[in-house]
């Protein structure tokens, strides 16, 4: 934590609203390292012990939820042994320690969530999570009916059978097709491997939504905070 005004610290820790926290200070109910603090400009730093009515207040970091339109060519892990660029290099001006929720391949683009909310992240990436993720895949060739049927019933990939997926052909030319696939699992390279298993190769892959959160027309490489409504509805899906 960097130095913070005491009333902000108290509000972020969930004691009360910032205004109410100021009142608590003025009432002499707040102490820092054993000293009563009534001055509203006072600051606290990491390691300071803050108490309200004699009870210690634990710092809670503000929860941050970010939606990034990940470009191809970045990794989603925070550190890379080959020093490749990571998605975190694109997020500037956020002081909280955020990290990606799950992963998108180096060669996949689209919607990636980043947060410091460990609870939500855990639930969204847990195998039991049934939140839908929607992908658009440009594939080589024209998808035949048996491949479409295989997506709908489940496809064997390395000894694992995928859950039934939703599949829609969005566009088709003589050489390739644009397909929308909806799954709720998150096996490594799952969508690519599902197509490969039925005989098609993926030229491009992009994730366009996770549950109620949509990529929309955010530019590649750009990011934004989720709205409170998006956070609320995402929490409802897990």
Interface residues with ligand URA (CB under 6 A)?
Answer: 104-105, 108, 189-192, 205
Q: Which residues contact 62 (CB under 8 A, 6 or more apart)?
A: 12, 96
Helices within 77-189 (DSSP H only): 118-125, 145-153
Residues, the chain, total? 238
Helix 118-125 / helix 228-237 crossing angle, nearest 10 deg:
50
SS3 content of the chain, % helix, strand, coil (to 5): 25, 30, 45
Q: What is the DSSP string of 49-95?
A: -EEETTEE----PPP-EEEEEEPTT-BSSS--TT---BGGGG--S--
Closer CB to ligand URA, 37 or 104, in the complex: 104
Closer CB to ligand URA, 11 or 191, in the complex: 191
Shortest spacing between CB 187 and ligand URA, in angstroms? 8
Catalytic, out of 45, 53, 80, 105 = 105
Shortest spacing between CB 133 and ligand URA, in angstroms? 7
Closer CB to ligand URA, 25 or 184, in the complex: 184
**Annotated catalytic residue 45:** no
Which 8-state DSSP code applies to residue 173?
A: -
Q: Edge-to-edge strands of the sheet including 50-52?
A: 35-36, 30-32, 50-52, 55-56
Shortest spacing between CB 119 and ligand URA, in angstroms? 23
Shortest spacing between CB 61 and ligand URA, in angstroms? 28
Q: Which helix (H) or strand (E) holds 22?
A: helix 18-26
Closer CB to ligand URA, 23 or 185, in the complex: 185
List phi, psi (to 5°) of 68.
Answer: -115, 140
Shortest spacing between CB 217 and ligand URA, in angstroms? 21
Closer CB to ligand URA, 84 or 97, in the complex: 84
> Whose CA is closest to 151, among 164, 141, 160?
164
Which residues are identified as catalytic? 105
């Amino acid at each position: 934590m960097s130095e913070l005004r005491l009333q902000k610290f108290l509000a972020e820790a969930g004691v009360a609203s910032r205004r109410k926290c100021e009142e608590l200070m003025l009432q002499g109910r707040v102490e820092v390292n054993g000293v009563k603090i009534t001055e509203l400009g006072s600051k606290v730093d990491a390691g300071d012990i803050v108490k309200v009515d004699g009870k210690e207040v634990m710092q809670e970091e503000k929860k941050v939820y970010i939606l990034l339109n990940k470009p191809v060519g970045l990794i989603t892990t925070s550190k890379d042994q080959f020093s490749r660029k990571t998605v975190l290099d694109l997020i500037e001006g956020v002081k909280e320690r955020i990290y990606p929720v799950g992963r998108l391949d180096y060669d996949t683009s689209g919607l990636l969530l980043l947060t410091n909310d460990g609870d939500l992240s855990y639930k969204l990436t847990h195998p039991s999570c049934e939140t839908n993720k929607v992908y658009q895949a440009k594939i080589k060739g024209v998808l035949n009916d048996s491949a479409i049927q295989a997506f709908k019933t489940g496809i064997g990939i390395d000894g694992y059978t995928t859950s039934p997926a939703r599949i829609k052909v969005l566009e088709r030319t003589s050489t390739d097709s644009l397909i929308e696939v909806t799954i709720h699992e998150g096996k490594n390279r799952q969508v690519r491997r599902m197509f490969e298993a039925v005989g098609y190769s993926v030229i491009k892959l992009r994730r366009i939504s996770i549950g109620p959160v949509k990529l929309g027309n955010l530019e590649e490489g750009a990011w934004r905070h989720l709205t409170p409504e998006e956070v609320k509805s995402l929490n409802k899906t897990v």
